[in-house]
Amino acid sequence: MEELTLEEANRRLAEEGYPPIQRLPADPAALTAWKRMVDAKRELDETGEVSAGTLLAISQFCHCLKCPSYPRGEMPVYCLQGESERRINPMNCLCPSCAVYKMGKMQGTDYYCMTGVPEGKLVAAGGVVGAAKRFLEHEVEKGNPGKRLPERLMSVPGLVGKRQEDLQRELPEKVPGWS
């Protein structure tokens, strides 16, 4: 795996019109994740809607993918998109340790893969859009390039390798008022 210096990574990002990262890792997977996150923030600012691309960008920080209850092959981030349509075997929920959960002010509840979006909790964070925006702004401000995981391990298979503009802008509505 190619490892870049922070200076070299930021030079490459600047050439493509992206803000700098503030810390390592500075490898291709982290830079791809950073670009996806910045693009998702830009799209959210422009449209005011949470898209599949926004959820994919946030999912790199989401603990759903590591959770023993996670139904493999689905888009995670259940706290923002709704419950799973698959059968869940609840064990050792990781929601309370998740940065998305904390940023969305969702303390006190868990197993969103089974219960869906905590609408009452999200009101304090501005709803689904407000929580997503707040989370992305926080991570971009920190210059956090994300987790050091290959994209294929942190995405739904149908989304691997796609750019923000290639992703479907509208997702099927799972939550009343979700847009």
Read off the pLDDT of residues 49-69 as tens digits, 9 standing for 90 and up: 888 888 888 888 888 888 888
Q: What is the mean pLDDT of the chain?
A: 79
CA gap 7, 130 in Å, rounded: 33
Q: Where do the structural domains in the chain lie, given as residue ranges?
A: 6-143
Q: What global pTM score does this model have? A: 0.75
3-state secondary structure of 142: helix
The tokens of 7 are what? 């200076």
Distance CA 91, CA 152 (A): 24
What does the alpha-carbon distance between residue 82 and residue 102 come to, in Å, rounded to a whole number? 17
Whether 176 has a pLDDT exceeding 50, the answer reads no
| CA–CA separation, 179 and 168 (whole Å) | 13
Q: What are the backbone dihedrals phi and psi of residue 62, each rounded to the nearest 5 degrees, phi first? A: -75, 140
H-type alpha helices, the chain: 6-15, 28-47, 52-59, 78-81, 99-103, 112-115, 119-122, 127-142
Confidence band, pLDDT 50/70/90 cuts, at residue 165:
low
